Structure 1
Amino acid sequence: MASRKALINVHRIIRSTAVVRQSSVTPSAAPPIFQNGVDLGARFFCSSPQSFDIDLSNEEKKRITINRLLYRSKQRGFLELDLVLGNWVEENVNSMDETAVKSLIHVLDLENPDLWKWLTAQEQPPEIVSSNPVFLALHKKVMTNLNKHAAPETRAAAGQPWVKGWDDFKRGRDAPISGNQ
């Protein structure tokens, strides 16, 4: 009984934190994104754009900002994005101005599954994401690499989700001994 009460209290805390976080999003931080009448702005962008200070005024502050961006791009917890974003940011961050850094921060604030689907053309990104210059450069690099290193017949059609390809449930006489279905 005590564990049920603890779970209920945790749920209440999470709900109250989520409500505060959503209400703290300012309209000037990022234009609202609507899907089915729901504002998804809080989902796609951090609730407090001032939480990451952008100061490129001197070499020390620029170095700190670059190191933070590199860390955020390489330690996302999604291996594919760690590699793609980390390498791209490492190659390009030194030549970015403040506007480009802000665009990069908006890309880094995106959710991993959504960003991966948008970068690999499994789904179409919202207008606000597809107009981001950093996203466009990343998308171009990912698609160039996919076209260069993966045969078209091994990928899903554009706009379709990728499938695992293995049929773990089909076991029987007609199933292949091994290999991709």
Structure 2
Amino acid sequence: MAAALLRRALLLRRVLPSPSPSPTLPAASAHRLLSAFTTSQQNAATTVDLSSDESRRRLLNRLVYRSKQRGFLELDLVLGSWVEQHVHSMDESNIRALLQVLDLENPDLWKWFTGQEQPPEDLNSNPVFTAIKSKVTDNLSKHASPETRSTPGQPWVRGWDDIKKGKDGPKYGNQ
């Protein structure tokens, strides 16, 4: 998020004229210009152009990159590998659904995938989200024993001090 804001600020700096001794834009005009600029950038980023092989290749590469480079290791691995396996067979509606998932915040997305929290209702109707969530749930069922997982509604934090079971021990995780 911070990197995207920095890129937009640098692009805006290139677009706006350099300061001169003459009076600058009023604050309201500058705000409208910045708002229009960021809105056009956001719309350009979410445009799904599948008109040519080259534009489709670029879009798919961008989606794989966004899914693998989120800065949240577990999510990078889960989301990145799923997208890499399925993105080439997606149609336009599924690509739009994937974009909706990629726009979500990392901590929330991880909690929803692992079942720590219930996802919003509109997200439950997203086919990409439900497919990834079922993959994560299936992997958890196959490879993790139930006592190592969190109960629904509790954070999924396990640590080196889980063996402390006294009065001063943690209720869950490494507190």
Which TM-score band (shorter chain)? Answer: 0.5 to 0.7
**Residue of 62, 68, 84 corresponding to 1:68:** 62
> In structure 2, how many angstroms separate the alpha carbons of the residues matched to 1:163 and 1:100?
32
Whole-Å separation in 2 of the counterparts to 1:72 and 1:49: 16
Distance (Å, rounded) in 2 between the aligned partners of 1:136 and 1:50: 26
- d(CA) in 2 for partners of 1:131, 1:165: 34
SS for the counterpart of 1:119 is helix
Deviation at 1:120, TM superposition (A): 0.2
Match of 2:123 among 129, 134, 152: 129
Asked which structure has the greater CA Rg, the reply is 2
Once the 2 structures are TM-superposed, how far is the Cα of residue 111 of structure 1 from its aligned partner?
0.1
Q: Find the residue that maps to 1:48 and give its secondary structure.
A: helix
The Cα of 1:161 is off from its aligned counterpart by: 1.6
1:165-176 to structure 2, matched below 5 A, reads 165-167=159-161
Structure with the largest fraction of helix: 2
**Corresponding residue for 2:22?**
none
Deviations 1:51-102 (A, max 9, x none): 2321112211110000000000000000001000110000000010110000
Q: TM-score, normalised by structure 1?
A: 0.65
Aligned to 2:87: 93
Q: 64, 76, 84: which one pairs with 1:82? A: 76
How well do the aligned residues superpose, as a CA RMSD in angstroms?
Answer: 2.7
What is the alpha-carbon distance in structure 1 between the residues aligned to residue 46 and residue 78 of structure 2? 22
2:107 to 110, 113, 130: 113
Higher relative contact order, structure no. (Cα contacts within 8 Å, ≥ 6 residues apart):
1
Consecutive unaligned residues in structure 1, runs of 5 or more: 1-16, 26-46
Distance, in Å, in 2 between the alignment partners of 1:50 and 1:129 is 23
Task: List structure 1 segments (4+ residues) > 2 angstroms apart after TM superposition.
Answer: 47-53, 163-168
Which position in structure 2 is the counterpart of 1:41? none
SS at match of 2:141: helix
The Cα of 1:49 is off from its aligned counterpart by: 4.4
| 1:103-124 Cα distance to aligned partner (Å, 9 max, x none) | 0000000000000000000000
Aligned length: 132
Task: Provide the TM-score with structure 2 as the length reference.
Answer: 0.67
- Percent identity, please: 62
